[in-house]
Amino acid sequence: MSTLQKIALPTLILAYSLLVLAFIFDSTNMNSDYLLFAGWIIGVTNAISNNLLAEKIDINKWLIILFIISGILWIFPPLFFTYFGIPCLFIFLGIGIYTHIKAFKLREKKTA
């Protein structure tokens, strides 16, 4: 497992976990902005590291472009709550999972 993969997978999991927790604990009685802020900081690292990993393992160019466009969402957090943001979160998560599955398959093929 490369260093880039060691950074990309945990940040993908942490960013989405913190974002989901921020939505779950969002109420008027509790201030959960710190979860959203922490998710945003990790999300920026997530977007950069996963895009670099996608470039490194040579996935399709149109998929990388879609990955970058949906990754812009992590840089501008007010977009999280828009009609543009929610589909981009799902697209980014789907491509991120696909990227990591392909990276693990390439690693297994290399060691076999």
For the entire predicted model, the pTM comes to 0.84
The residue length of the chain stands at 112
pLDDT of residue 2: 82
Structure tokens at 72: 């812009």
CB 29 within 8 A of CB 9: no
User: Which tens digit of pLDDT belongs to each residue from 14-39?
Assistant: 999 988 888 787 766 666 677 778 88
pLDDT of residue 77: 78
pLDDT of residue 9: 92
- Dump strand ranges (E) for the chain: none
CB 38 within 8 A of CB 63: no
User: Which tens digit of pLDDT belongs to each residue from 50-93?
Assistant: 999 999 998 989 999 998 898 888 888 788 778 888 898 899 99
Distance CA 21, CA 36 (A): 8
